[in-house]
Structures are given as C-alpha cells and as structure tokens.
A and B are shown apart, each in its own frame.
Chain A
Amino acid sequence: AQSVTQLGSHVSVSEGALVLLRCNYSSSVPPYLFWYVQYPNQGLQLLLKYTSAATLVKGINGFEAEFKKSETSFHLTKPSAHMSDADEYFCAVSAPSGTYKYIFGTGTRLKVLA
C-alpha cells in the first residue's frame, strides 16, 4: 500500500535560513510524489511533483525537492526562508492504479521567525 510520512508536524526556521521539510514514502511501485502548500482558508496549491523524470524537481516560489529512491525520501527544501513561506505543507503520493487518488501525509506547519 502507498503511504507517506512527514516527520515534524511543526518546523521553525529563521528568516533567511534553509527550509527542510521531510517526506518519506512507501510504495509497491515506482511512486509519483507531490508537494502542496495550503494557504489559510484556501485549498491546496501544487508546489512541485515528481513523475519519474529528473530526480531533482524545481517548483514554484523557490522550492525544490529531490527524489532519493535509496532513502525512500522526497524532502522539500528552499535555500532561504521568507516570512511569506509560513504555511502548512503536504506531501502526497498517488495511488499506483485505478483512480490515482492522493494519499497525503499529515502535514507540516512551517513557522518563519524574524
């Protein structure tokens, strides 16, 4: 069965510091992985996705993620945190067949300290 685990429900970083949000997956087939951000009282917006092309994926707002099969990880990073990055982030894996519904992690709330 597919699953994702996001380590750390809350992460705090200083403004200008590296952002690292962790996501590990479990999948019976090569996974397709997604990172979404949820703005307050809004739906989810796609940051980036991995669909078996390049292992280093660049997304919007300066975020990127690297797919590492050996570590079953897809961690989200940003070199320099901005105050505007303070939101909740979700990692998801798509089901391997059928509906391709998403299986989400439990989310990580990022706090950026001035």
Chain B
Amino acid sequence: GAGVSQSPSNKVTEKGKDVELRCDPISGHTALYWYRQSLGQGLEFLIYFQGNSAPDKSGLPSDRFSAERTGGSVSTLTIQRTQQEDSAVYLCASSFSGERTDTQYFGPGTRLTVL
C-alpha cells in the first residue's frame, strides 16, 4: 500500500510568513509523529498524535508552532511568523498503534527554507 506522504516537498518562504505542512499517514495507523531535522540539532521530536488527540506536544519549540489532526488521518503542522531558524526538513511518521515495539514509517519530508 501507499506509504506516508508529505506536501509540499519543498517550501521557500519569507521571514514572518505563515506556512502549513501536510502529512498523510499510512491508512489505519492511529499514531502520528512530527520530527524536525536540522543541521545544528539533528533529528528532534516535535509532537505526537494518537487519533486526533495530541497527548505529547513537548517538542514544539515555541508557541509559533501548532499542529492538528483530523479524521484520525491527515495532519497539518503550522508555523506562524516564520524565522530563519525554522529552516529545516520536517518529517512525519506514522505507526500502527503507537506501541513501543511499533515501527515508525517516515515520509519523505518537507524541506522548509525561510529567507
């Protein structure tokens, strides 16, 4: 079946603009994760969804970052008033149920460049 998809694949924006990044998880996967990959910070966790709820938002770096998930499926990560330090690759992953032994399946990422 189809894997995790993300759109857009690349996004260039100007400092101060808002951006929305989309993730379509594997059908039937209840757990969804967002990670950020940047040169200085490596791969870091942002937020976790179980169904439409986000019980762990501990990785969101500031209140400019928010995310939602609807219908237990698609998720959108929104960054308001983007800053240059937000430039990174944003990766989405899903797993079947969020159990510890589950494999997380990653999408190809969205490369965000803030000018």
A-to-B contact residues, CB < 8 Å? 32, 34, 36, 41-46, 49, 51, 90, 92, 94, 96, 98-107
**Once the chains bind, are A101 and B56 in contact (CB under 8 Å)?**
yes
Closest beta carbon of chain B to A35's beta carbon, Å = 12
From A34, A36, A43, A102, contact of B108 by CB (8 A): A43
A-B contact count (CB 8 A): 61
- Given A99-B98, A101-B48, the answer on whether A44 and B56 have CB atoms closer than 8 Å is no
The docked-state distance in angstroms from the alpha carbon of A100 to that of B45 is 11
Known: A43-B109, A44-B93, A102-B43. 20 other contacts (CB 8 A): A42-B109, A43-B4, A43-B93, A43-B106, A43-B107, A49-B103, A90-B43, A92-B43, A96-B100, A99-B55, A100-B100, A101-B48, A101-B56, A102-B33, A103-B45, A104-B43, A104-B44, A105-B42, A106-B42, A107-B42
How many B residues touch A, CB cutoff 8 Å?
26
